[in-house]
Structure 1
Amino acid sequence: GSYWHLDTRPDEFNNLPKKSDIKQAATKLNNALKQCDYQTLIHGDAKLANFAANSQGHILGYDFQYVGAGVGVVDVMYFMTSCMDESE
């Protein structure tokens, strides 16, 4: 699940400097997420634009094209970064 993993982003990953800290961290993080014991079904694109609320406070999620197995915190963090700035 999700579009945000290294298997789907080879061009961006390969454009990073060979010995950069972010390239090394990305590889370690990607491997840890793939091997996580607690996989679940995730939305995969849980940004604010893919949710709506009605006047009764019911929440609707849509645009499920990246649904699949993953670590739930991926959706949580992606959602948070879509509606909060760095100071929040």
Structure 2
Amino acid sequence: MGKVKDIWNGRHKGFVRYAAVITALALIYALFFSDDNLIRWFRAGIELRQQRRQIERYQKEIKSMDERIKTLSTDRDSLEQYARENFNFAEPGDDVYLVK
């Protein structure tokens, strides 16, 4: 720490202080005011995490739908039940009651 103090208070202290202020201002500009600033990086990280979670949800939903398609395409009874429940299908002679 003594060396830094010697440089700060030394023979060229005016230049050292000027350089420190300019460096600090450049860092502040780069971190907060430039096009690729720190705030934008944080927002991009948050958005990236949200999109990854959304991808996981969609992948689970796709897997569930694939299983449902496989079940409906292989089992006639489940297909018939699905058609009756969702599309109000009925065989001739069946009584259909719609409850809302």
TM class, shorter-length = under 0.3
Larger radius of gyration: 2
Q: TM-score if structure 2 supplies the norm length?
A: 0.22
> Quick one: higher RCO (CA 8 Å, sep 6+), 1 or 2?
1
| Structure 1 or 2: more strand by fraction | 1
Q: TM-score if structure 1 supplies the norm length?
A: 0.25
| Structure 1 or 2: more helix by fraction | 2
